């Protein structure tokens, strides 16, 4: 038997709006494929079920969907790779709003003070349930600062601003709970608050101790400012546009703990209260030292081409140079499906780059973190690893039978599509049957193979889905949901999502049964007709004293028909 391996999906799928409400899709071709790529299939929704377009292979790896899309509608696009025999899994999904979602006009600042700005605008939208998020920033004054406020009406007063600062306000609509950044125009305004800018703060002393920083500064020393009780904020980060607030204090010193080892940090101290956030003196750059409890850096993973269950975990030591220091690492792999932790420990080493093999399971989801073996060691942030999913069940159909029970069938997973890495693993199917759209709320039945007959009731709608589950209790993606049920008033069966196949099969069985019955009746009727004509054509021979039955008149004798022989008055009638 010839087996085929599914190709890899395209990657980095992007959608761009073109003139005339057209959409241009671009993607990166799959890096590896076990067969020659014959083309791609583009999917997009709405509509539902998704529309699809077949695309040939091209050097540009792009496709213009030459049809006008509806304005202000969010479309989602994805793609697959096609070979002669197989179709790949889905690529990444990308969304795009076509045209203007909301029209904004007359955006203006009505009131401006030292610490607040009141703005309002006029909007037109076909949506009724709409809210607004107003984002504001001041890149020239505080790079990376951004805040927001949400309102129900097209007006807002933003408080807590700093005096003498140029703020940029952006108005974004929230429709049905979803924030929209595309499809909105004329939604930005710049406003400078009244007054003079606040004083800056200078750092006077800084001490580096491992991955800990000790900072000291002096308060604003202008005579008119000395009586003010200031609150200070200390900001830190490796990039100025991504600084984070470490903490606030009314004191003039602060200690920063738990930083990365051998990392250069940008440090800023600003006044925070009572008049807003002040400016910063030129940023201070401090580099931490080696700390044996600090977590490693750049945790990542890669998978092998030949075996989808084999991965390699990689990370870098907390410092770039570890020649005189050996470090032992502890690795925690959390199985989010089975809710358990698996621990590994590596022997001490002084390499700055470390690799570790890891065996994973199809259908699992893992969170991975790494730290040193020292007491009170800090671990990396969890790294999410999602291996290849188990195959997805397709062609789910069903029908409600006359006795009310549900007859459910689906396409089984063929051996050629079962991952070769799991050739010795058994599997079965989980059938979800619920009376609500959330199929996980109802019954879950495990079966080895389809079909499944489930006792049910008339007058109830059932939501049904199927997923494959292997012997280790890892599940594949859940199939599309079908709805089966009937109405007590009409007693008519309702089937969605291609369930008409079951109805056609049932009708076909009834038609075949009626045809067979009619054929038998016609055959019997013809035999009776022959027997009657044979009897009517008989005559009595006075010479021989016997009666003769003939089978002339074009009637042919059949093997199954009884043979009538002549008889005389003194002989009994013999039927052979």
Fold of 394-498: Immunoglobulin-like (2.60.40)
CATH class of the domain comprising 202-287? mainly beta
Structure tokens at 444: 């879950």
d(CA 221, CA 226): 6
- pLDDT of res. 88: 86
On whether the 11-97 domain is CATH 2.60.40.10, my answer is: yes
With a pLDDT cut of 90, the percent of the chain lying above it is: 51
Each residue's pLDDT tens digit, 504-530: 455 665 766 677 666 655 566 555 455
Confirm if 192 and 165 have CB atoms less than 8 A apart: yes
For the domain spanning 102-192, the CATH number is 2.60.40.10
- pLDDT of res. 191: 96
What DSSP assignment string belongs to 121-174? EEEE-S-SSEEEEEEEE-TTTSTT-EEEEEESSSEEEE-SPPTT-EEEEEEEEE
- Which residue spans within 324-391 are E strands per DSSP? 327-335, 340-349, 353-359, 366-372, 383-385
Each residue's pLDDT tens digit, 121-170: 998 876 666 899 999 999 999 998 999 999 999 999 999 999 999 999 99
Structure tokens at 575: 């039927």
Query: Residue 254 pairs with which residues in a beta bridge?
Result: 215
Cα-based angle 443, 449, 454 (whole degrees, multiple of 5): 35
Architecture of domain 297-385: Sandwich (2.60)
> What is the domain partition of the chain in residue ranges?
11-97, 102-192, 202-287, 297-385, 394-498, 504-568
Query: Residue 156 pairs with which residues in a beta bridge?
Result: 119
Kindly give, in sequence order, each residue whose CB lies less than 8 Å from that of residue 328, ignoring residues fewer than 6 positions away.
Answer: 345, 346, 347, 348, 349, 372, 373
d(CA 282, CA 289): 23
Give me the mean pLDDT over the 239-245 stretch.
Answer: 92
- pLDDT of res. 127: 66
Confirm if 80 and 33 have CB atoms less than 8 A apart: no
Same fold, 102-192 and 394-498: yes
> Is the pLDDT assigned to residue 567 strictly greater than 80?
no
């Amino acid at each position: 038997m010839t087996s085929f391996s599914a190709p890899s999906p395209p990657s980095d799928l992007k959608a761009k709006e073109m003139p005339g409400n057209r959409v241009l899709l671009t993607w990166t071709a799959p890096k590896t494929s076990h067969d020659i790529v014959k083309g791609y299939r583009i999917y997009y929704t709405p509509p539902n079920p998704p529309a699809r377009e077949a695309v040939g292979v091209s050097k540009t790896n792009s496709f213009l969907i030459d049809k006008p899309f509806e304005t202000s509608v969010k479309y989602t696009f994805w793609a697959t790779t096609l070979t002669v025999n197989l179709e790949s899994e889905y690529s990444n999904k990308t969304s795009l709003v076509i045209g203007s979602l909301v029209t904004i006009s007359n955006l203006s600042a009505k009131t401006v003070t030292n610490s607040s700005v009141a703005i309002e605008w006029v909007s037109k939208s076909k949506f009724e349930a709409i809210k607004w998020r107003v984002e504001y920033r001041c890149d020239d004054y505080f790079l990376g600062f951004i805040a927001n406020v949400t309102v129900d009406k097209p007006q807002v007063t933003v408080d807590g601003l700093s005096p003498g600062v140029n703020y940029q306000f952006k108005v974004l609509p929230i429709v049905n709970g979803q924030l929209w950044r595309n499809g909105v125009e004329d939604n930005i305004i710049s406003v400078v608050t009244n007054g003079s800018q606040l004083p800056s703060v200078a750092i006077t002393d800084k001490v580096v101790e491992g991955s800990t920083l000790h900072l000291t500064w002096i308060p604003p020393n202008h005579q008119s400012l000395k009586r003010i009780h200031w609150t200070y904020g200390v900001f830190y980060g490796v990039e100025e546009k991504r600084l984070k607030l470490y903490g606030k204090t009314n004191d003039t010193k602060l200690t920063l703990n738990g930083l990365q080892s051998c990392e250069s940090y940008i440090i800023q101290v600003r006044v925070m209260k009572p008049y807003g956030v002040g400016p910063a003196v030129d940023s201070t750059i401090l580099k931490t030292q080696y700390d044996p409890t600090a977590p490693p850096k750049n945790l990542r993973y890669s998978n092998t081409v030949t075996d989808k269950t084999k991965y390699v975990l990689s990370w870098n030591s907390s410092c770039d140079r570890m020649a005189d220091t050996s470090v032992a690492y502890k690795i925690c792999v959390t199985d989010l499906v089975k809710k358990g932790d698996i621990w590994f420990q590596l022997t001490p080493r002084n390499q700055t780059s470390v690799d570790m093999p890891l065996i994973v399971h199809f259908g699992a989801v893992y969170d991975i973190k790494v730290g040193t073996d020292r007491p009170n060691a800090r671990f990396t942030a969890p790294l999410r690893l999602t291996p290849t999913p188990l195959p997805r069940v397709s062609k789910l159909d069903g029908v409600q039978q006359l006795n009310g029970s549900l007859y459910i069938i689906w396409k089984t997973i063929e051996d050629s599509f079962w991952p070769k890495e799991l050739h010795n693993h058994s599997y079965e199917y989980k059938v979800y049957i619920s009376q609500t759209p959330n199929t996980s709320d109802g019954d879950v039945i495990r079966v080895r193979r389809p079909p499944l007959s489930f006792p049910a009731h008339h007058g109830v709608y059932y939501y049904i889905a199927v997923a494959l589950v292997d012997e280790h209790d890892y599940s594949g993606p859940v199939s599309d949901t079908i709805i089966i049920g009937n109405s007590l008033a009409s007693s008519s069966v309702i089937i969605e999502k291609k369930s008409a196949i079951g109805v056609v099969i049932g009708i076909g069985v009834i038609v075949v049964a009626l045809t067979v019955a009619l054929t038998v009746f016609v055959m019997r009727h013809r035999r009776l007709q022959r027997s009657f004509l044979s009897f009517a054509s008989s005559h009595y021979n006075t010479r021989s004293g016997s009666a003769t039955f003939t089978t002339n008149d074009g009637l042919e004798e059949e093997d199954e028909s009884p043979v009538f022989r002549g008889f005389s008055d003194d002989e009994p009638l013999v039927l052979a």
